[in-house]
Copies of this chain bind each other. A is one copy, B any other.
Amino acid sequence: MHPPELRQHFASDNYAGICPEALHWLLQANASGHQPAYGDDGWTHRVSDRLRDLFQTDCDVYFVFNGTAANSLALAAMCQSYHAVICTPVAHIETDECGCPEFFSGGSKLLITEAESAQARRGKLTPEAIDFLATKRSDIHSPKPKVVSITQATELGTVYSVEEVCAIAAMAKRHHLKLHMDGARFANAVATLGCHPSDITWRAGVDVLCFGGTKNGLPVGEAVVFFDRELSADFAWRVKQAGQLASKMRFISAPWLGMLENDNWLRHARHANAMAQRLYAAIHEVPGVRVMHPPEANAVFAHLPRAVIDILHGQGWRFYEFIADGGCRLMCAWDTTPESVDAFAADLTAACTAQA
């Protein structure tokens, strides 16, 4: 009667379910009887405070349903329709949000950096690229740059260092641009860096962070964290108007308690990252496999022979091809098992060997 369970796969970290700690607090929230709606409940207040504690600063926190909305609402709060957002060609807001940033902002344009440099090939924005786009046009026939958006960890599985974010923030500031961080896999980045979450956000010059929860183990929901609280003026109205205000908010917010207590969010991220390292170690020297770069977060990007891809797909393994010219994307989740990694690596090795 149930849908058949997928063989564990490497398609996306959002194929995974709810982690036990998040589920625990979802059930607790449900057991608390009637609660005020629209976020005016004790659970939501408590989680917001926990997030402020986590970041060690008095930031504004809002919960929305998904990353599409989190990023697009944050960007809309940072720019008008005739403004522009600087980002990479592989930025998720550019490639996979079906124009939601443009829709929510009423037409803001994304200014895309060149894809040529070494950093760009690793999915990263550079201060130089920002400088170029921020000064390329100043006439009114082109949208005025207003925001820089970076993804941490990037869409290509790399991670900006604290120094890199600081340098980006400095260049953004120099051009009076705000700095947005798409943190769909923020946990994986922090796990890799080993820094305090504040070090890679507001202490590095980030104005707004979209803190991803779903890929880290939540059922639904992301947090928009405004370190620059001037940018969140009337943001509650914006969230409501955009259809992103949950009536039974506690079921969106309470599960975060499970992520935040005992640093479970980092523990899950570390595990996913470790699985990516395990996978990398197992396949990067296999003949026929060309890994783009060593994984820094929870994904391995590799070019595989066509025939190998077909064999693996035929065996029931799932993963995406052609992600941002990075070849095949092999993504690990909070619950990816070593056994699954090993089985996949074995099948991959066998297929490559057969092809050779």
Contact = CB atoms under 8 A, between A and B. Distances in A.
A327 interface: no
A2 B38 CA distance: 18
Contact of A3 (B32, B69, B103, B246): B32
Contact of A18 (B6, B237, B251): B251
Contact of A30 (B23, B45, B247): B23
A135 interface: no
A12 interface: yes
Given A243-B69, A251-B219, A237 B143 contact: yes
A98 B42 contact: no
A99 interface: yes
A334 to B, nearest CB: 11
Interface string A72-115: 11000000111110000000000111111011101111000000
A140 interface: yes
A15 interface: yes
A211 interface: no
A21 to B, nearest CB: 13
Contacts of A16: 34
A104 B72 CA distance: 14
Contact of A143 (B29, B68, B98, B109): B98
Contacts of A246: 65-66, 220
Q: Categorize the interface residue count of chain A.
A: 35 or more
A272 B3 CA distance: 33
Contacts of A3: 32, 35, 41-43, 45-46
A234 interface: yes
A17 interface: yes
Contacts of A32: 2-3, 5, 17
A206 interface: no
Nearest to A94: B109
A14 interface: yes
Contact of A141 (B34, B97, B244): B97
A226 to B, nearest CB: 16
Nearest to A37: B14
B103 A241 contact: yes
A254 to B, nearest CB: 9
Q: Which of A8, A73, A219 has the most CB of B within 10 A?
A: A219
Interface in A289-323: 318
Interface of A: 2-6, 8-9, 11-12, 14-18, 23, 26-38, 41-43, 45-46, 64-69, 72-73, 80-84, 95-100, 102-104, 106-109, 140-144, 214-215, 219-220, 234, 236-248, 251-252, 318, 333
